[in-house]
Amino acid sequence: MSDTHAESVAFVRETAIPPALPPATVSGPVKWMRDNLFPTWANGLLTVAALYIIYLILSSSLPWLLGGIWNAESLAQCREILQGNSAACFAVLSERWNQLLFGFKYPPELYWRPTLAFVLLFIAAAPVLFFDLPRKLLIFTGIYPFLAYWLIWGGTILTPLIALLGVVVGYLVFNRFVKGSFAAGMFGGVAAALVVWILGGMVFSGADLFSLRSVSSRDLGGFMLNMMLGITCVSLSVPIGIALALGRQSDLPIVKYICVVFIEFIRGVPLITLLFVASVMLSYFFPPERTVDLFLRVVIMITMFSSAYIAEVIRGGLAALPKGQYEAADSLGLDYPQAMRLIILPQALKISIPGIVNIAVGLFKDTTLVSVITLFDIVGMIRGPILASTDWNGVYWELFMFASVLFFIVCYSISQYSQWLERRLATDHR
């Protein structure tokens, strides 16, 4: 280099320098340990201290966990077996297993129905979650809510069939009129569905076809109730949230202000208040003989609550899109629904995935709040019938740990799925 400079300042490169491998360095576990665990004396000491703390925790908790008693009829019997040793009494889980999962009033001989609904859930959810699967599976996803309703609540199959028919007719009418204007399609569809439901209700009232033994909403409970509330509310609140977010951006002042007021009001109120409204207050507005089902009331409240949050997350996603995307869509002649569906929402939702998942996970855990309005979800079951029984009074750790594990499994799966989804949708190559 210095020679070149000595000869002249001007320099022309005649051969390109080929790329070379980095200098060979030590690798393998020894290097990893040296780099990560013992890079300096201080860090080495911290590592040793941390290992000691981990040892302390495991040495006291592992025997407790592994030495747990799984077969006993009551806490007293557990203690008898343990003879003063400290270990978990998991027998409460095996003894009250069904109650924890299904609640204490769901008829035991009918447990297969919600279980079947749960298994079918995976088939129904698959095409929505993994869009590489054949699109025809979505037909089953469409049928699933009605099927699951029939399986869990029982009663005649006509009820869900009429409901499904109403939705289908409404959709057909919507499709027919939406080309004229969106409003015509929307109102036409809703009206058609209502007509089908009312007519169907009148024609088939009292009819008894393919009847399963019916179970009332009050009899649902356990983790099943949490799952039902979580899944129903998440799947309802995402589309409603999208609609609210778009409505908030609308040029139509009425639509815009309805959405703004709704979102701001709901966000300003604690969920627990809404749940009390659902359980106590709403019944004042209905005549005593006609009340809306409690499960439905709770679903409406939780859905309203989370859709307001999801709307704000999606609004953030919409705001993050460059204006050029809207302009490009406009300049190609796409109309508003097409531009939203094909260009704007796919990108805005992709940006919003972490936020939406955050709210979905929070919502799922918040379903345990229904225990304060005397619904016996898993927390309600633990605090109520199980801990209050003379057999198991005092078994806190085991029960709440079990509930935590169940929630953790579901929430961690949701979180892993969302990370997979983000990777799968990453096309920007930043």
Partner 1 sequence: MTEAVEMKVSDEIAISIQNMNKWYGTFHVLRDIDLTVYRGERIVICGPSGSGKSTLIRCINALEEHQKGRIEVDGTMLSSDIKNIDKIRREVGMVFQHFNLFPHLTILENCTLAPIWVRKIPKKTAEETAMHFLKKVKIPEQADKYPGQLSGGQQQRVAIARSLCMRPRIMLFDEPTSALDPEMIKEVLDTMIELAEEGMTMLCVTHEMGFARQVANRVIFMDEGQIVEQNEPEEFFKNPKSPRTKLFLSQILGH
Binding site for partner 1 (CB under 8 A): 322, 324-325, 327-328, 330-335, 338, 342-343, 346-347, 350, 425, 427-430
Q: Which is nearer to partner 1, 290 or 323 (CB)?
A: 323
Least distance (Å) between residue 321 CB and partner 1: 10
Cα distances from 277 to residues 44, 148, 226, 285, 289, in angstroms, run 57, 27, 19, 11, 19
Give just the sign of the alpha carbon dihedral 223, 364, 274, 191. Answer: negative
The rounded distance, in Å, linking the Cα atoms of 409 and 427 is 29
Q: Which is nearer to partner 1, 34 or 341 (CB)?
A: 341
The rounded distance, in Å, linking the Cα atoms of 208 and 196 is 19
Structure tokens, 80:
């008898």
Least distance (Å) between residue 343 CB and partner 1: 6
Residue 369 host element (H or E): none
Least distance (Å) between residue 331 CB and partner 1: 4
Least distance (Å) between residue 428 CB and partner 1: 5
Cβ neighbours of 417 (radius 10 Å): 14
Looking at residue 251, what DSSP letter applies?
S
171: Cα separation from own chain's centroid? 26
Are the CB atoms for 263 and 311 separated by under 8 Å? yes
Least distance (Å) between residue 345 CB and partner 1: 10
Give just the sign of the alpha carbon dihedral 152, 365, 358, 267. Answer: positive
Strand partners, 212: 155
Q: Which is nearer to partner 1, 208 or 335 (CB)?
A: 335
The rounded distance, in Å, linking the Cα atoms of 57 and 130 is 40
Q: Which is nearer to partner 1, 175 or 413 (CB)?
A: 175
Q: Which is nearer to partner 1, 232 or 352 (CB)?
A: 352
In terms of Cα–Cα distance, which of 271, 222, 232, 272 is closest to 406? 222
The rounded distance, in Å, linking the Cα atoms of 228 and 299 is 9
Least distance (Å) between residue 344 CB and partner 1: 10
Q: Which is nearer to partner 1, 276 or 336 (CB)?
A: 336
Q: Which is nearer to partner 1, 22 or 324 (CB)?
A: 324
Q: Which is nearer to partner 1, 292 or 342 (CB)?
A: 342
Least distance (Å) between residue 289 CB and partner 1: 49
Q: Which is nearer to partner 1, 325 or 389 (CB)?
A: 325
Q: Which is nearer to partner 1, 219 or 422 (CB)?
A: 422
Least distance (Å) between residue 130 CB and partner 1: 17
Least distance (Å) between residue 132 CB and partner 1: 15
Least distance (Å) between residue 350 CB and partner 1: 7
Strand partners, 155: 212
* Tokens 């609540």 sit on residue: 153
DSSP string for residues in 199-249: HHHHHTTT--SSPBPP--GGG--HHHHHHHHHHHHHHHHHHHHHHHHHHHT
Cβ neighbours of 99 (radius 10 Å): 22
Cα distances from 178 to residues 195, 256, 333, in angstroms, run 19, 21, 18
Taking the CA atoms of residue 294, residue 297, residue 303 and residue 306 in that order, the dihedral angle to the nearest 10 degrees is -90
